[in-house]
Amino acid sequence: MSTEVDYYELLGCERTADGATLKSAYRKLAMQYHPDRNAGCKDSEAKFKAVSEAYEVLKDPQKRAAYDRYGHAAFRQGGGGGAGPQDFGGFSDIFESVFGEFMGGRGGGRAGPRRGADLRYDMEITLDEAFHGKATEITVDVSSACAPCGGTGAKPGTSAKTCTTCAGHGKVRAQQGFFVVERACPTCHGAGQVISDPCPACHGEGRVEQTKTLSVNVPPGVDEGTRIRLTGEGEAGARGAPAGDLYIFMHVKRHPLFEREGTTLYARAPISFTTAALGGEIEIPGLDGDVRTIRIPAGIQSGRELRQRGAGMPVLQGRGFGDLVVRVEVETPTRLSAKQRELLEAFRETETGEECPESQGFFAKLKSALG
């Protein structure tokens, strides 16, 4: 149509109309002005096209929002089609102002060289080293900033120039139908600058591969999976961009005596049945170098846990220590001398059943269950 009629007026709806109302109005008008019902009527054909155009815009929430804000101007192409490195005016600017938060609008700044990648290093330590902490060195192969060009990628004495394709933005825009697509500049690959005379040492990359030796302080209390970050020790960024970080993941070897859960240490302690019956003491060497004396109460049962406060692992980056838990396992003798067997036989003759009330109660219940 030569004159622009408001889409809502064309459909006979209020601007607050919901989708169902718009759809109902469109169907009614489409049937009224459909060319099949009005053969040869140019006015009806034009009216049918107009209401169809109006409904196509208003049924789409994004198109409707653009139309509500800018009217018919929202759908005029300002720079033509195509996908070349052009800056599109008109609708592309309108669309960005409405939906820029989804597109990362033009105000987001230049792309620039990308930050270097983060790296991972796996370190294995003993439980003793996890207890005390340690200072050590590691060797990693990593890309670092090129020394001759200072990481710029340009030959010493020269400098990079602003990319003329994207005007230094690092991005170009292309309009595809209703949408504006933004992508990295094909000339500078998102850097915003081009190097006409690259550094011979790094070939314009601004970084070179090298082996680095780094000092690492492992704090007391680290556990399996603890992560230590060395800031700026990852891959160097391209052309002077910031370097990534190096993450060191800790792996703790199994200990022959202790098992660990957080700051708690667990130790298995087999004791003789006489110690279990009469009580006594056992000694366990601690990771701190001290010998821990554990008192065994008389009559202790296998599986009982004895806890000693503050004898476990140190709290990582905190104060205090966890606990040491000793799991008692009563060991039945398998080799007896004649004298020992004689003594045990004499002890059995004196048993009344009250010495082991749990087993006596179990067998009493078993007999009762069997009738």
How many CB atoms within 10 Å of residue 235? 19
Residues whose CB is less than 8 angstroms from the CB of residue 18 and which lie 6 or more positions away in sequence, other chains included = none
Per-residue model confidence as pLDDT tens digits over 130-185: 999 999 999 998 888 888 888 888 889 888 888 888 888 888 887 766 677 888 88
Highest mean pLDDT among 16-30, 165-179, 243-257: 243-257
* Eight-state DSSP code of residue 27: H
From residue 361, alpha-carbon distances to 85, 352, 364, 368 in Å are: 90, 13, 5, 11
| 361 band by pLDDT with thresholds 50, 70 and 90 | low
| Residue 238 resides in a domain | yes
Alpha helices in the chain (DSSP H): 7-11, 19-33, 42-58, 61-70, 91-103, 127-132, 273-278, 338-349, 357-370
- Binding residues are 146, 149, 163, 166, 185, 188, 199, 202
pLDDT tens profile 218-227: 999 999 999 9
Same domain, yes or no: 343 and 232 = no
> Residue length, the chain?
371
Residue with the bigger pLDDT between 73 and 285: it is 285
Tell me, yes or no, whether 328 lies in a domain: yes
**81, 108, 135: which is the final residue of a domain?**
108
| Among 146, 270, 133, 138, residue whose Cα is nearest residue 204 | 146
Q: Same structural domain for residues 119 and 221?
A: yes
Question: Is residue 369's pLDDT more than 60?
Answer: yes
Same-domain pairing of 281 and 242: no
**Number of domains composing the chain:** 3
pLDDT over 50 at 280, yes or no: yes
The answer to whether 88 and 79 are in contact (CB under 8 A) is yes
Q: What is the spatial distance between Cα 23 and Cα 27, in angstroms, rounded to a whole number? A: 6
Whole-number pLDDT of residue 96: 43
Q: Look at residue 70 and tell me whether its pLDDT is greater than 90.
A: no
Contact 142, 210 (CB under 8 A): yes
Residue 259 token pair: 């098992």
Structure tokens of 28?
Answer: 């009614």
In contact, 161 and 155? CB cutoff 8 Å: no
Do residue 227 and residue 324 come from a single domain? no
**CA-based nearest residue to 131, from 50, 66, 218, 9:** 218
Average pLDDT, the chain: 82
Query: What local confidence, expressed as pLDDT, does residue 371 receive?
Result: 61
If you ran DSSP here, which 8-state letter would residue 71 be given? G
Phi, psi of 112 (to 5 degrees): 70, 170
Does residue 80 belong to any structural domain of this protein?
yes
243 and 117, same structural domain? Answer: yes
End position of a domain, from candidates 253, 287, 313:
253
> Could you tell me which residues come within 8 angstroms of residue 234 by beta carbon, excluding any fewer than 6 positions away?
116, 117, 118, 119, 142, 243, 244, 245, 246
Distances (CA, A) of 79 to 4, 183, 190, 311: 21, 17, 23, 75
Read off the amino acid at residue 224: E
Residue 360: pLDDT band (50, 70, 90) is low
pLDDT at residue 199 above 70?
yes
**Residue 261: beta bridge partners?**
264
Q: What is the pLDDT of residue 203?
A: 81
DSSP state of 51: H
Domain of 142: which CATH number? 2.60.260.20
Total-model pTM? 0.58
SS3 119: strand
Q: What are the binding residues for Zn(2+)?
A: 146, 149, 163, 166, 185, 188, 199, 202
15 located within any domain: yes
Residue 86: which domain range?
7-108
Task: Please state the rounded mean pLDDT for residues 195-211.
Answer: 86
Looking at the fold, whether 146 and 243 belong to one and the same domain comes out as yes
The two tokens of residue 210 are 């090298």
d(CA 71, CA 64): 9
Q: Which CATH number does the domain housing residue 56 bear?
A: 1.10.287.110
Average pLDDT over residues 173-202: 81
Domain final position from 212, 235, 253: 253
